[in-house]
Amino acid sequence: MKRKIVLTGDRPTGPLHLGHYVGSLVNRIALQETHEQFVMIADVQALTDNFETPEKVRASVTEVALDYLAVGIDPTKSTIFIQSMIPEIAELTIFYLNLVTVARLHRNPTVKEEIKLRGFEETIPAGFFMYPVNQAADITFLNTDLVPVGNDQLPMIEQTVEIVRKFNRLYGDVLTEPQALVPPALTGRLPGLDGKAKMAKSAGNAIFLKDEADELTKKVMSMFTDPNHLRVEDPGQVEDNAVFMYLDIFGRDKAAVEEMKEHYRRGGLGDVKIKRYLNDELQALLTPIRDRRKQFAQDPAAVMHLIREGTAKTRERAIATMARVRQAMKIDYF
């Protein structure tokens, strides 16, 4: 029986952080053992809101690839490719645009939220507005069976399914209808160091997988805790306390974490002590990742060779899919 095809990926706008690790990277390491996994470096999507700084996206492609390899994405088990190097995706996007109305794109909850987040309103670039259609092409050019997503991305898969059904209804049963795979994650969205929002590079509240030990310590010791916990002997609040939220995820000794929570609640446990404990846990997690990253970074040409090979393999799949698409649409003239 053919192993199901899984598509995952990230927009390359900088190195990956702990939020990526919790939200997707752990799941990808598991999926590559059981599925045929393609990991896309989505540089075209990154350009939709970084079109004025293409050098930022270009530099980040290698950064993202290094993080993939460092955490354990194995290029012999997962295929890593660059989105822009598959021109068939752009071609398929053009065809799909005929199947989607502007009104339907406006109704996409994910698009509405992203527009609001970036303050685009009426100044939204057309490329950004239509990225759900481009994403549908990303998914379907591989005849992808499963797409790991968070709950906030489910509307994107729903719209992809709508496009596939309309295409197949018009032109025949050509495309595979994908399913959303909401993997068991370690947590929901990881809060930033400030405890107020999700971790993000743009918010300046992120711990990056490549952070050196001293930088990691500095960030952990600056983390948000309970603003009312002014003295060690004061009772403290565990809920919405970023340090304890991280310990729930990264603390290896769950019983010890629960004991610390109770101690903090009744008073007598200082913020410095719990931060040092968290720092030790994160250092244990990130040190081997950081060391592997440095090893791969010593030979950037070899890293790019791995990506080039993965992109060539992916391109073969894309050409085969587009041959079927063109034949179904009666535009296979030669």
Q: Tell me, yes or no, whether 239 and 121 share the same domain.
A: no
Supply the DSSP string of 55-95, one letter for each residue.
HHHHHHHHHHHHHHHHHT--TTTEEEEEGGG-HHHHHHHHH
Inside any domain, residue 198: no
Across 21-30, average pLDDT: 88
Q: Tell me, yes or no, whether 239 and 280 share the same domain.
A: yes
Inside any domain, residue 306: yes
Give the CATH number of the domain where residue 229 resides.
1.10.240.10
Inside any domain, residue 278: yes
331 vs 334: CA distance, rounded Å: 9
Q: Tell me, yes or no, whether 269 and 284 share the same domain.
A: yes
Grade residue 1 by pLDDT with cuts at 50, 70 and 90.
Answer: very low
Q: Tell me, yes or no, whether 110 and 156 share the same domain.
A: yes
Q: Mind listing the pLDDT tens digit for each residue in 97-109?
A: 999 998 888 888 8
Q: Tell me, yes or no, whether 180 and 283 share the same domain.
A: no
Q: What pTM does this model have?
A: 0.88
Range of the domain at 253: 213-294
Q: Mind listing the pLDDT tens digit for each residue in 281-301?
A: 999 999 999 999 999 999 999
Q: Tell me, yes or no, whether 172 and 229 share the same domain.
A: no
Domain count, the chain: 2
Inside any domain, residue 275: yes
Q: Tell me, yes or no, whether 185 and 258 share the same domain.
A: no
